[in-house]
C-alpha cells in the first residue's frame, strides 16, 4: 500500500468514479497568469493588497457571486494570518477551512467522489497523499499560474504543485538535555544512553524510505543501511510510540527527545516560548506538501482566485509564515523567516522526489516501520 487506507479508498471509488465522470459541469476556464506580488524580507506586506493583476475581471465577478472558497488542509498553525491576507485582497469571498489529518481528508474526498460532487475547492496534503488522489482520479489537471514553473522539486504533470515542506527534525527539551548531550550525528540517535528517553511517531512510516533515499547513491535506495539504523534506534532507545507528532509532550517533559519530529509543530511551540529546540543534525528529510483542485469544485472561480493568491509571492510567504514551513519558490525562500531559522541552526535538508513514492517502496517502508515499533507483527 502507498499509505494506510489507500486500498480502502480504491474500493470506495471503484463504483463512485464511474458516476463522477458524468456528474457536474467543468469549472470555469483558468484566467491568464498574474505577476507575483513582492513581499518584504521580514514579513508579508499586508494592508495594501490588491487582486492579482492577471486575474480576469470576469472570474472576479463570478467569484463574488459564489461568495466563498472551501479549503481542506493538513495542519495550519496560524489560520487567522492566512485569512487576513486573503481577505484583504478578496474581501467578498469567505474563506472556509477544514484543518484535518490526511487520512480524514482522503476518506472524505473518496466518499464524495461516489457522487461526483465535492465540497472542497482546494486541497493541501502531503505529496504522497496527493499522488494517491491523482491515481484515484479525484483531482484535476489544472492550469497553474506560470510562476509555479520556476518552483523547484515539481511533478512532471499539472495535477498538483508542491508549495511547502515540513522537515523531519529531532526536537529536544532544552531543560532536560544539556548542550553537550544534544545529538549531533545519526549514530548519536541510536546510543543506548537514550534508553527510555525518546519518543517516535507510528505515523512516520515513510522514515525508512526517506533515509534509504538520503543514504543511497546513484539513485539506488540503501534499504540495508536505513533498516539497520532504525532497528538499532528502536532496540537501543526503547522509544515511547505515539500517534502524530505531539511535541507538547516533549515540552511538558514526558520524554527529552523526539526522534524524527515535525518541524511545523516544533517551531510553533518554540515561537510560543516552549523549552524546545532542534538537534543540529543533517541532512534531514523535507516532507513535501502539495496543493491540488478536486474535479468539479463547487466554487471554481473563487478557487481560481485562491490558487492565484497562494502562488503569488505575498500569499505563499504568508502561508510559509503561518505554517512554519519551507517553500519551493526560490524568490520567496529568500524572504522566509523559516528558511532563515533552519539555516541559522545549520540544518541542511533533502526533498524526497515523487518518483520514489511508489506503491512498492511505500509498502516496504510502512510494513517495516510498524513491525519495528511493535505496532504490527
Give the pLDDT confidence of 44-56 residue by residue, as tens digits: 333 334 444 457 8
261, β-bridge pairs = 169
Say yes or no to pLDDT of 354 above 60.
Answer: yes
Averaged pLDDT of the chain: 86
Cis peptide before 283 (omega within 30 of 0): yes
Percent of the chain with pLDDT over 70: 85
Question: In whole angstroms, what is the distance from residue 4 CA to residue 363 CA?
Answer: 9
pLDDT for the residue 321: 92
- Residue 1 placed within a domain: no
In a domain, 155, yes or no: yes
HEC per residue, 349-362 = EEECCHHHCCHHHH
For 185-278, strand residue ranges (E) read: 198-201, 240-242, 257-262, 276-278
216/319 same-domain check = no
Beta strands at 240-242 and 198-201: parallel, antiparallel or unpaired: parallel
Residues 282 and 249 in one domain: yes
Angle in degrees, 0-180, between the axes of helices 313-323 and 337-344, rounded to the nearest 10: 50
> Count of CB atoms within 10 A of residue 115's CB?
12
Q: Is the pLDDT of residue 223 over 90?
A: yes
Q: Quote the CA–CA distance of 314 and 298 in Å, as a whole number.
A: 26
In angstroms, how far is the first alpha carbon of the chain from the final one?
17
Inside any domain, residue 43: yes
Joined together, the cell numbers standing for residue 142 give 489544472
Assign 32 a pLDDT band (cuts: 50, 70, 90).
Answer: very low
Same domain, 150 and 80: yes
Do 201 and 145 belong together in one domain?
Answer: no
Spacing of C-alpha 288 from chain mean position: 5
User: Does residue 355 form part of some domain?
Assistant: yes
Gap between the Cα atoms of 154 and 354, Å rounded: 8
97: CB partners within 8 A, 6+ apart = 70, 71, 72, 73, 76, 79, 82, 83
pLDDT (0 to 100) of residue 50: 46
In sequence order, what are the residues at sequence separation of 6 or more whose Cβ sits closer than 8 angstroms to the Cβ of residue 138?
13, 109, 110, 113, 118, 294, 295
Asked if the structure places residue 377 within a domain, the reply is no
CATH of residue 174: 3.40.190.10
* 200 membership: H or E segment, kind and range: strand 198-201
Q: How many domains does the chain have?
A: 2
Q: Which of 150, 154, 176 is nearest to 164 (CA)?
A: 154
Does 115 map to a domain? yes
349 and 324, same structural domain? no
| pLDDT over threshold 80, residue 40 | no
Q: Is 129 part of any domain?
A: yes
CA-wise closest residue to 321 among 254, 264, 373 = 264
The verdict on 172 and 159 lying in the same domain is no
| Band of residue 25 on the pLDDT scale cut at 50, 70, 90 | very low
pLDDT tier for residue 168 given thresholds of 50, 70 and 90:
very high
The H-or-E segment that residue 237 falls in is helix 223-237
- Residue 81 has a pLDDT of 93
Mean pLDDT of 256-262: 96
Cell numbers for 4, please give them. Answer: 494506510
Do 60 and 303 meet the contact criterion of CB atoms below 8 Å apart? no
Is 9's pLDDT higher than 60? no
CB atoms within 10 A of CB 74: 22
Give a yes or no: residue 114 inside a domain.
Answer: yes
Residue given cell 478536486 in the structure block: 294
Least confident interval from 94-103, 309-318, 325-334: 94-103
Read off the DSSP letter of residue 20.
Answer: H
Percent of the chain with pLDDT over 90: 76
Contact 107, 113 (CB under 8 A): no
pLDDT of residue 43: 37
- Is 263 a residue whose pLDDT tops 80? yes
Question: Can you say whether the dihedral through the CA atoms of 76, 80, 83, 85 is positive or negative?
Answer: negative
* Domain span at 117: 6-164+289-340
40 and 74 assigned to the same domain: yes
Mean pLDDT (whole number) for 142-162: 95
pLDDT digits (tens, 9 = 90+) for 208-222: 999 999 999 988 999
Per DSSP, 295 falls in state S
Query: Contact at 8 Å (CB) between 107 and 10?
Result: no
Displacement of CA 121 from its chain's centroid (Å): 18
User: Same structural domain for residues 124 and 176?
Assistant: no
Same domain, 41 and 157: yes
Are 29 and 171 in the same domain? no
The pLDDT score that the predictor gives to residue 228 is 98
Pair (234, 365) in one structural domain = yes
Q: Is the pLDDT of residue 8 over 80?
A: no
Band (75; pLDDT cuts 50, 70, 90) = confident
Residues 361 and 250 in one domain: yes
Cut 0.85: pTM above it: no
pLDDT score recorded for residue 130: 94
Residue 54: the pLDDT is 58
Amino acid at each position: 500500500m502507498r499509505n494506510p487506507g489507500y486500498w480502502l479508498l480504491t474500493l470506495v471509488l471503484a463504483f463512485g468514479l464511474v458516476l463522477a465522470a458524468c456528474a457536474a459541469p467543468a469549472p470555469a476556464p483558468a484566467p491568464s497568469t498574474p505577476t507575483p506580488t513582492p513581499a518584504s524580507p521580514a514579513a508579508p506586506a499586508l494592508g495594501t493588497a490588491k487582486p492579482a493583476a492577471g486575474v480576469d475581471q470576469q472570474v472576479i465577478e463570478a467569484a463574488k457571486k459564489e461568495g466563498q472558497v472551501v479549503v481542506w488542509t493538513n495542519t495550519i498553525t496560524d489560520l487567522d494570518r492566512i485569512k487576513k491576507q486573503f481577505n484583504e485582497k478578496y474581501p467578498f469571498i469567505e474563506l472556509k477551512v477544514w484543518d484535518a489529518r490526511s487520512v480524514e481528508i482522503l476518506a472524505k474526498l473518496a466518499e464524495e467522489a461516489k457522487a461526483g460532487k465535492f465540497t472542497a475547492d482546494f486541497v493541501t496534503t502531503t505529496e504522497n497523499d496527493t499522488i494517491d488522489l491523482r491515481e484515484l482520479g479525484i483531482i484535476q489537471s489544472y492550469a497553474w499560474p506560470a510562476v509555479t514553473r520556476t518552483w523547484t522539486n515539481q511533478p512532471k504533470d499539472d495535477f498538483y504543485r508542491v508549495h511547502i515542506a515540513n522537515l523531519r527534525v529531532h526536537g529536544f527539551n532544552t531543560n532536560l538535555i544539556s548542550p553537550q548531550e544534544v545529538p549531533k550525528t545519526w549514530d548519536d540517535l541510536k546510543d543506548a544512553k537514550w534508553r527510555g528517553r525518546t519518543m517516535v511517531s507510528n505515523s512516520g512510516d515513510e522514515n525508512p524510505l526517506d533515509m534509504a533515499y538520503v543514504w543511497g547513491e546513484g539513485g539506488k535506495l540503501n534499504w540495508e543501511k536505513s533498516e539497520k539504523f532504525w532497528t538499532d534506534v528502536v532496540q537501543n532507545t526503547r522509544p515511547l510510540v505515539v500517534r502524530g507528532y505531539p511535541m507538547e509532550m516533549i515540552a511538558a517533559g514526558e520524554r527529552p527527545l523526539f526522534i524524527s519530529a515535525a518541524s511545523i509543530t516544533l517551531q510553533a511551540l518554540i515561537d510560543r516560548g516552549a523549552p524546545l529546540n532542534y538537534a543540529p543534525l543533517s541532512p534531514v528529510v523535507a516532507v513535501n506538501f502539495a496543493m491540488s483542485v478536486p474535479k468539479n469544485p463547487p466554487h471554481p472561480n473563487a478557487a481560481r482566485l485562491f490558487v492565484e493568491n497562494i502562488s503569488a509571492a505575498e500569499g505563499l510567504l504568508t502561508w510559509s509564515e503561518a505554517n512554519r514551513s519551507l517553500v519551493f519558490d526560490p524568490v520567496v525562500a529568500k524572504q522566509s523567516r523559516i528558511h532563515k531559522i533552519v539555516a541559522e541552526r545549520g540544518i541542511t535538508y533533502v526533498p524526497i522526489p515523487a518518483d520514489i513514492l511508489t506503491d512498492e517502496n511505500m509498502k516496504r517502508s510502512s510494513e517495516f516501520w510498524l513491525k519495528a515499533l511493535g505496532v504490527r507483527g
